[in-house]
Amino acid sequence: MKTRTLLRCALATAVAVALAGPAWAGEPITATFWYSYGGKVRQVTEEMVKKFNGSQTKYRIDGSFQGDYFQALAKIRAAITTKTAPAIFHVIGEAMPDLWQGGMFENLEPYVKSTGVKSEDFVQALSQHGYFDYYGKSVPLFAIPFNRSMPVMYYNKDLLDAKGVKVPTSWDELRDAATKLTVREGNEVKTWGFEVPVDWWFWHGLLYQAGGSLLSADGKQAGFRQKGGEALQYWVDMVNKHKIMKRPGGKDYNAWEVTNTDFINQKAAMIFTSTAFVNYLTENVKFKMGTAFLPKKEKFAAPTGGTFFVMIKDATPAQKEAGWAFIKWMSEPSQAVYWSQNTGYICTNEPAIAGAEMQKFYKENPNYRVAYEQLKYAQRMPFTPALIRIQREVIQPNLEAPVIGLKTVDETMAAAEKAANDILAGK
- Give one DSSP letter per residue of 325-382, joined into a string: HHHHHHHSHHHHHHHHHHH-PBP-BHHHHHSHHHHHHHHH-GGGHHHHHHGGGEEPEE
**Dihedral over alpha carbons 124, 61, 51, 36 (to 10 degrees):** -60
Residue 111: C-alpha distances to residues 107, 116, 122, 169, 320 (Å): 8, 8, 16, 43, 10
Contact residue for other proteins among 139, 404, 414, 425 (CB under 8 A): 404
**Nearest alpha-carbon partner for 105 in 308, 276, 255, 300:** 308
Nearest approach in angstroms of CB 340 to other proteins is 31
Nearest approach in angstroms of CB 251 to other proteins is 4
Tell me whether residue 410 is exposed, middle or buried, using C-beta atoms within 10 angstroms of its C-beta: 0 to 12, 13 to 18, 19 or more.
middle
Contact residue for other proteins among 166, 334, 397, 411 (CB under 8 A): 397
Nearest approach in angstroms of CB 52 to other proteins is 29
Give the DSSP letter of residue 383: -
**Nearest alpha-carbon partner for 256 in 268, 242, 244, 239:** 268
**Binding mask of the shown chain, residues 176 to 205, with x at each position contacting other proteins by CB under 8 A:** -----------xx-----------------
Tell me whether residue 11 is exposed, middle or buried, using C-beta atoms within 10 angstroms of its C-beta: 0 to 12, 13 to 18, 19 or more.
exposed
Residue 392 interacting with other proteins (CB under 8 A) = yes
**Residue placing its CB nearer to other proteins in the complex, 49 or 80:** 80
Contact residue for other proteins among 158, 393, 410, 422 (CB under 8 A): 393
Residue 426 interacting with other proteins (CB under 8 A) = no
Which residues are within 8 A (CB) of 164 and not within 5 positions of it... i.e. 6 or more apart?
none
**Residue placing its CB nearer to other proteins in the complex, 60 or 392:** 392
What distance lies between CA 144 and its chain's CA centroid? 13
Residue 414 interacting with other proteins (CB under 8 A) = no
Contact residue for other proteins among 44, 61, 72, 80 (CB under 8 A): 80
**Residue placing its CB nearer to other proteins in the complex, 58 or 251:** 251
Nearest approach in angstroms of CB 137 to other proteins is 19
Residue 38 interacting with other proteins (CB under 8 A) = no
**Dihedral over alpha carbons 296, 299, 300, 303 (to 10 degrees):** -110
User: Which segments of 82-189 does DSSP mark as H helices, in order?
Assistant: 96-101, 109-114, 128-131, 157-163, 171-181
What distance lies between CA 92 and its chain's CA centroid? 6
Count the site residues for other proteins by CB under 8 A: 31
Contact residue for other proteins among 20, 78, 139, 162 (CB under 8 A): 78
Residue 12 interacting with other proteins (CB under 8 A) = no
Residue 312 interacting with other proteins (CB under 8 A) = no
Contact residue for other proteins among 217, 406, 414, 425 (CB under 8 A): 406
Q: Are 259 and 273 in contact (CB under 8 A)?
A: yes
Nearest approach in angstroms of CB 423 to other proteins is 11
**Residue placing its CB nearer to other proteins in the complex, 253 or 300:** 253
With CB under 8 A as the contact rule, which of the stretches 147-155, 211-219, 269-277, 401-409 interacts with other proteins? 401-409
Residues 38, 33: Cα–Cα separation, whole Å? 15
Beta bridge partners of residue 290, listed in sequence order: 155
Q: Are strands 305-311 and 88-92 parallel, antiparallel or unpaired?
A: antiparallel
Q: How many helices (H) and strands (E) does the chain have?
A: 20, 15
With CB under 8 A as the contact rule, which of the stretches 46-54, 75-83, 145-153, 284-292 interacts with other proteins? 75-83
Contact residue for other proteins among 158, 400, 410, 422 (CB under 8 A): 400
Residues 344, 287: Cα–Cα separation, whole Å? 18
The 3-state DSSP class for residue 422 equals helix
**Binding mask of the shown chain, residues 91 to 110, with x at each position contacting other proteins by CB under 8 A:** -------xx-xxxx------
**Residue placing its CB nearer to other proteins in the complex, 370 or 388:** 388
Residue 269 interacting with other proteins (CB under 8 A) = no
**Residue placing its CB nearer to other proteins in the complex, 80 or 352:** 80
What residues between 221 and 250 interact with other proteins by CB under 8 A? 247, 249-250
Residue 250: C-alpha distances to residues 160, 258, 365, 388, 400 (Å): 28, 8, 32, 21, 11
**Residue placing its CB nearer to other proteins in the complex, 44 or 394:** 394
**Residue placing its CB nearer to other proteins in the complex, 80 or 409:** 80
Query: Which stretches of the chain bind other proteins, using CB under 8 A?
Result: 70, 73-74, 77-78, 80-81, 98-99, 101-104, 187-188, 247, 249-252, 254, 262, 267, 389, 392-393, 397, 400-401, 404, 406
